[in-house]
C-alpha cells in the first residue's frame, strides 16, 4: 500500500471569495500571468467566508478570513509579502487549521503555490472582521486596518448596472466563475503592507479549494 | 543553471561538426548532430524557463523545510527538456533530409532563397496565429499552470515539466527552425534567438513584441524573395 503523507491533512474549502486588486478591469494575472497594473506589481486584498469546509474531522463552516498580499512584480516571480487575518468568532482549533491550510503546509492548490511565492508572511492575526457576501455589492473590513467595497460595473451608455462574468469552463486557478465589478473602496494599512486602489478590478466568486 | 552554462560552453567552444557532403555521413554523424541540436535547445530554451523552474523549486523547498514528501526539481526540468529532445530529433532528421535535397550547404546554412523566404514568412505568420499566442500565454503564466496541473511524485514532476515544455515548444518551434536559414551553428543567431524567446516569454508586453517580430520576419522573407 502506498502511503502518501500529503494526504495526512485532508482539507476542502468552499468559500465566498471577495477579491480586489490593483489591476485594471480583467486582471492580467488571471490570463497572461502578468498584472496589468500601472506599476507592474500585484497588490491584492481577498476576503473569504467559508460556506462549507473541513480539515480532517474539524468543521470550518462559517469562518471568515482576510488575506492581504503584495508582490513587486508578477506573482510567480516571488518576493511577496502576505498577511492572514482570521475572525475572532473562530475557535482556537479552527484558527490553527486555517493557518495550516493557508500557509500551504497542508498542501493543495492553489494555496501551496501561492505560499511558495512569499518571502514574508504574517499571521494568523485574530481580529473582528465584518463581511457582506452579497454578489454585486460584496464588502469586508477590519476596523482601522483595511476596507474593501465592490460595486457593479456601470454601462457608460445607459448608466445601468452591468452583469459581467469571467468564466473558466475548464477550471480557473482561483475560481471558475467570477462576477466582475469595480472597487468602490480598497485600502490597507498594516505594518509594511500599505496600499490603496480605488476603481480597479474586483471579483466575487465561489472558490473551491482542497488537497 | 549548470546545464545552461554547460550547453553554452559547448556552443561557444566545442561545437564542431562533420562538414562532409551528406552522402558520406555515417550513423555516428547523425548521432552527433542530434546531440548538438539537443544541447543547443537546452541552452536556448532553459534560460526562459528559469522563473517556472524556480517556482517549482520554491514549492519543493518549502515541503522539504516542513519535512513533507517532495520531488527534486530536477525531474521537472528533465520533463521540460524531454519535449525539446523530441523536437531535436525531428530537427536532426529534417536537417539530414534538407542536406539530401541540397537546400542546406555542408556548412549547414540555407543556400536556397525560396526555402529561406518561405521559412521566414511562415515563421512570421505563425507569430500571429491564435495557436502560437495561446501557447505563449500559457508559457507566460506558469503560476496558473503549476497550480492547476500539479502532480505528485517523480513521474508527476516529469509529466508536469513535459506539458509545460509542450507549450513552449508550440510557442517557439518555428523560431528555432529559423536556424536552418541563419545557419544551424551560427552562434550570433543562436544568441539572438535565445534573447527573443526570453523577451517574448518574460517581459510584461511579450505578446506585442512577438507580433512585431512576426511582421519583421514576414517583411524580411518577402525582401529575400524579391
pTM of the model: 0.82
**Within an 8 Å CB–CB cutoff, is residue A113 touching chain B?**
yes
Task: Retrieve residue B27's grid coordinates.
Answer: 550513423
pLDDT of residue A2: 40
* The predicted structure's pLDDT at residue A71: 93
Under the banding of pLDDT at 50, 70 and 90, the label for residue B212 is very high
Which has more pLDDT, A20 or B111?
Answer: A20
Asked whether the beta carbons of residue B141 and residue A105 sit closer than 8 angstroms, the reply is no
| Option in A5, A113, A114 nearest B68 (CB) | A5
ipTM of the complex: 0.73
Q: Is B157 exposed, middle or buried (0-12, 13-18, 19+ CB in 10 A)?
A: buried
Is residue A127 over pLDDT 80?
yes
Cβ neighbour number for residue B148 with a 10 Å cutoff = 16
Mean per-residue pLDDT for A121-139?
93
Q: Grid coordinates in use for B9?
A: 560552453
Contact residues, chain A, for B148 at CB < 8 Å: 109-110, 171-173
With CA atoms as reference, the chain B residue closest to A110 would be: B147
Look at residues B38, B41, B177, B174 and name the one whose alpha carbon lies nearest to residue B104. B177
* B147 with A30: Cβ contact below 8 A: no
Query: What nine digits make up the cell of A126?
Result: 485574530
Does B144 sit within 8 Å of A78, measured CB to CB?
no
Contact A50, A75 (CB under 8 A): no
Q: pLDDT-based confidence at A50, cuts 50/70/90?
A: very high
The domain of B15 spans 2-225
Q: Are A117 and B55 a contacting pair at CB < 8 A?
A: yes
- What is the spatial distance between Cα B220 and Cα B212, in angstroms, rounded to a whole number? 12
From its phi and psi, is residue B171 left (phi > 0), alpha (psi between -120 and 50) or beta? alpha
How far is the C-alpha of B49 from the C-alpha of B44, rounded, in Å?
10
Nearest CA in chain A to B52: A76
A146-152 and A139-142 strand pairing: antiparallel
Sort out which chain B residues have CB atoms less than 8 A from A210's CB and list them: none
CA distance B200 to chain A (A): 12
Interface check for A171 against chain B (CB to CB < 8 A): the answer is yes
Please write the tens of the pLDDT for every residue from A85-99.
999 999 999 999 999
pLDDT, tens digit, 9 for 90 and up, residues B111-146: 888 899 999 999 999 999 999 998 988 888 888 788
Which residues between 118 and 157 in chain A have a beta carbon less than 8 angstroms from any beta carbon of chain B?
none
Nearest to B140 among A32, A112, A116 (CB): A32
How many residues in chain B? 226
Question: Is pLDDT above 70 for B70?
Answer: yes
Q: Mark yes or no for CB contact A4/B69 under 8 Å.
A: yes
Query: Across the interface, do A34 and B55 touch by the CB < 8 Å criterion?
Result: no
Give chain B's largest Cα–Cα span.
65
Task: Say if strands A58-59 and A64-71 run parallel, antiparallel, or are unpaired.
Answer: unpaired
**CA A115 from centroid of its chain's CA atoms:** 12
Which residues does chain B have within 8 Å of residue A169's beta carbon, measured at their own beta carbons? Answer: none
- pLDDT at position A1 is 34
Q: DSSP assignment, residue A153? A: -
Q: What is the DSSP letter of A176?
A: S
Q: Cβ distance B182 to B175 under 8 Å?
A: no
Q: Rounded to an integer, what distance in angstroms lies between the CA atom of residue B92 and that of residue B105?
A: 15
Compute the distance between CA of residue B81 and CA of residue B158 in angstroms, rounded to an integer.
10
For B55, which residue in chain A has the nearest alpha carbon?
A76
CB contact A105 to B (< 8 Å) = yes
The total number of structural domains that make up chain B: 1
Q: By the CB < 8 Å criterion, does A169 face chain B?
A: no
Question: What are the CA-CA distances from residue A141 to residues A5, A68, A79, A100, A202 (Å)?
Answer: 37, 12, 26, 23, 15
Distance from C-alpha of A153 to C-alpha of A161, rounded to nearest angstrom: 6
Residue A173 has phi, psi (to 5 degrees) of -85, -20
CB atoms within 10 A of CB A198: 12
pLDDT category, B101, cuts 50, 70, 90?
confident
Report whether B33 contacts B95 (CB < 8 A): yes
Amino acid at each position: 500500500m502506498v502511503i502518501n503523507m500529503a494526504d495526512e491533512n485532508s482539507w476542502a474549502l468552499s468559500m465566498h471569495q471577495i477579491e480586489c486588486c490593483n489591476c485594471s478591469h480583467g486582471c492580467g494575472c488571471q490570463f497572461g500571468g502578468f498584472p496589468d497594473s500601472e506599476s507592474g506589481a500585484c497588490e491584492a486584498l481577498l476576503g473569504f467566508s467559508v460556506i462549507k469546509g473541513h480539515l480532517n474531522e474539524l468543521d470550518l463552516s462559517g469562518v471568515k478570513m482576510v488575506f492581504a498580499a503584495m508582490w513587486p512584480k508578477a506573482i510567480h516571480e516571488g518576493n511577496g509579502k502576505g498577511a492572514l487575518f482570521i475572525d475572532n468568532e473562530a475557535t482556537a482549533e479552527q484558527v490553527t487549521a486555517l493557518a495550516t491550510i493557508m500557509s500551504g503546509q497542508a498542501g493543495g492548490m492553489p494555496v501551496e503555490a501561492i505560499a511558495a511565492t512569499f518571502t514574508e508572511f504574517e499571521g494568523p492575526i485574530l481580529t473582528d472582521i465584518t463581511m457582506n457576501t452579497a454578489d454585486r455589492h460584496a464588502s469586508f473590513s477590519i476596523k482601522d486596518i483595511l476596507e474593501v467595497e465592490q460595486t457593479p460595473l456601470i454601462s457608460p451608455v445607459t448608466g445601468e448596472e452591468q452583469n459581467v462574468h469571467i468564466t473558466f469552463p475548464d477550471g480557473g486557478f482561483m475560481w471558475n466563475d467570477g462576477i466582475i465589478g469595480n472597487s468602490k473602496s480598497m485600502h490597507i494599512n498594516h505594518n509594511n503592507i500599505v496600499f490603496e486602489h480605488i476603481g480597479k478590478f474586483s471579483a466575487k466568486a465561489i472558490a473551491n479549494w482542497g488537497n | 543553471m549548470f546545464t545552461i552554462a554547460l550547453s553554452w560552453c559547448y556552443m561557444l567552444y566545442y561545437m564542431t561538426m562533420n562538414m562532409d557532403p551528406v552522402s558520406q555521413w555515417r550513423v555516428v554523424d547523425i548521432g552527433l548532430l542530434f546531440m548538438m541540436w539537443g544541447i543547443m535547445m537546452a541552452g536556448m530554451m532553459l534560460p526562459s524557463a528559469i522563473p517556472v523552474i524556480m517556482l517549482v523549486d520554491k514549492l519543493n523547498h518549502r515541503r522539504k523545510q516542513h519535512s513533507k514528501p517532495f520531488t527534486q526539481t530536477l525531474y521537472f526540468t528533465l520533463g521540460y527538456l524531454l519535449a525539446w529532445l523530441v523536437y531535436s530529433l525531428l530537427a536532426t532528421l529534417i536537417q539530414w533530409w534538407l542536406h539530401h535535397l541540397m537546400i542546406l550547404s555542408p556548412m549547414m546554412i540555407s543556400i536556397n532563397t525560396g526555402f529561406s523566404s518561405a521559412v521566414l514568412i511562415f515563421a512570421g505568420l505563425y507569430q500571429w496565429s491564435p495557436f502560437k499566442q495561446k501557447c505563449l500565454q500559457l508559457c507566460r503564466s506558469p503560476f496558473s499552470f503549476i497550480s492547476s496541473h500539479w502532480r505528485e511524485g517523480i513521474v508527476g514532476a516529469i509529466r508536469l515539466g513535459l506539458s509545460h515544455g509542450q507549450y513552449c515548444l508550440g510557442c517557439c518551434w518555428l523560431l528555432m527552425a529559423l536556424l536552418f536559414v541563419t545557419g544551424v551553428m551560427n552562434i550570433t543567431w543562436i544568441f539572438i534567438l535565445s534573447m527573443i524567446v526570453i523577451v517574448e516569454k518574460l517581459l510584461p508586453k511579450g505578446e506585442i513584441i512577438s507580433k512585431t517580430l512576426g511582421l519583421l520576419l514576414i517583411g524580411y522573407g518577402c525582401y529575400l524573395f524579391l
